[in-house]
Every structure is written in C-alpha cells, then in structure tokens.
Amino acid sequence: MQDAQQEHETLKDTGEYDAERDADAALLARYAAGDEAAARLLSARLAPRAFAHAFRVLGDRAEAEDVTQEAMLRLWKPAPKWDAGSTWLYRVVANLCLDRMRRTRPDTLDEMDSPADPAPRIETRLHDAARHDALQSALLRLPERQRQAVVLRHLEGLAKPQIAEILDVGVEAVESLTARGKRALTADLAAQRDALGYSDDTT
C-alpha cells in the first residue's frame, strides 16, 4: 500500500519535473534568440532555488551569493548545453559548492561545531528560530554528499530521479544518502536539544 503510494508520488514528481524541464528549455531557447524577457523569467524561476541550495549547503551568505552568480553566469554564456534548466543549474551549483567545501573545510569545521549562543531563550518565537538554526548547523556537520542529498530532497523538495541526475548517482544511492543523512541529523539535533536545554515538546 505504502509502496504503491510512494510509486505514485514518484511518477507524479517525474511528470512535473518533465514539464518544468520543457518550460526551462523553451525559455532558454528564447534567451538564445536574443529575448531579454526570457532572461528575466529564467532568473526568477531558477536563481532563488540555486541560492537556497547553495546557502543551505555552504551555510554562508557571501559564498552562496558567489556560487549563485557564477552558476547563472554559466547559464547566460553561450555554450552547448541542450539540457539546461533547473536540473542542469542544480548540478552546477552542487559542483561549485563541493569545490568550495573542499577548499575551506579544514578551517571552518571547528567553528561550525561550536554550540550556538547558550543564553536562556524566551520560548515559542525563539524556539522556531533556534530549531531552524540548529538544523542549519547540524546540516553543516553532515558529510558533503549526504548534506546535498538531504537539502535537495527535504528542503528543495525535488524528486529522487532528479537528485540522482544532479549528484550523478543512482536512485538507490540517493535513497541511501538521504536515509543516512536523516538518521545522523536526528541524532545530532536530539543531542543538541538536550545540550542547549530547549525542548521539542509541545505538550
């Protein structure tokens, strides 16, 4: 029952993703023919998603903005890229992020491990912000591939076949990466919550 439902969702995801890909390809063809309005539409469709992914994976606004600008620049520059669209752009962003993570990892990991501000928190309003920040810090502690897979699947909401294409792996590998990532996040966040003394209970 659950398998059938999951399969249905995957098929639906795939259908939407094909339609989206066609729309992006049509806009890019218009841009290549010199249509400036197509550039505005493409930017509005793709840039916020590229930025969100880069920001969550890198955890740094300036770096994420650099990556987004670079990825969009590659979209504008004339080059044979017949399948350019959201998948192509996510792929470029994922690879640019990977390059940066590998370049900066030795210095930044320690800083990311340091606990957030331990001052006592005033419940609800801060509760969400704290949990959100806690999620972001925990994401940054995941291995690169798991982090990218979890962000694409659970924060960007992409279909598994699309993620497989972006990360250049099989669909099973995507399932394994997201499952391991989620397990690690759960354990990390539970430990953080206990250490920071904020409760996840609503009762």
Partner 1 sequence: MTQPDEFDLEAAFEAARAAPPQMSEALVAQIARDARTHLPKQSWWARLLSMTGGPVGLGGLVTATVAGFWFGAAPPSETLDPMVIFGTIELAADDTAVDDDMTYLFGFEWITEEG
Q: H helices of the chain, where?
A: 2-32, 36-58, 61-76, 86-113, 123-140, 144-150, 160-167, 171-196
**Apex CA 145: angle with CA 85 and CA 116, to 5°?**
110
Which of 10, 14, 69, 108 binds partner 1 (CB under 8 A)? It is 69
Residues 133-162 that bind partner 1 (CB under 8 A): 134-136, 154-155, 157
Residue 189 interacting with partner 1 (CB under 8 A): yes
Residue 149 · residue 181 · CB < 8 Å: yes
Which of 17, 51, 88, 90 binds partner 1 (CB under 8 A)? It is 51
Q: How far apart are CA 39 and CA 86, in angstroms?
A: 14
Residue 194 interacting with partner 1 (CB under 8 A): yes
Q: H helices of 114-170, where?
A: 123-140, 144-150, 160-167
Q: How far apart are CA 178 and CA 172, in angstroms?
A: 10
Q: How far apart are CA 39 and CA 31, in angstroms?
A: 6
Of 38 and 169, which CB lies nearer to partner 1 in the complex structure? Answer: 38
**Which range touches partner 1 (CB under 8 A), out of 3-11, 89-97, 159-167, 193-201?**
193-201
Length of the chain equals: 203
Residues 81-120 that bind partner 1 (CB under 8 A): none
**Which range touches partner 1 (CB under 8 A), out of 49-57, 81-89, 93-101, 159-167?**
49-57
Q: How far apart are CA 106 and CA 34, in angstroms?
A: 44
Output DSSP code: residue 115: P
Which of 43, 95, 108, 176 binds partner 1 (CB under 8 A)? It is 43
Task: Give the total of residues touching partner 1 (CB under 8 A).
Answer: 46
Residues at the interface with partner 1 (CB under 8 A): 31-36, 39-40, 42-43, 47-48, 51-52, 55-56, 61, 64-65, 68-69, 72-73, 76-78, 128, 131-132, 134-136, 154-155, 157, 182, 185-187, 189-190, 193-194, 199-201
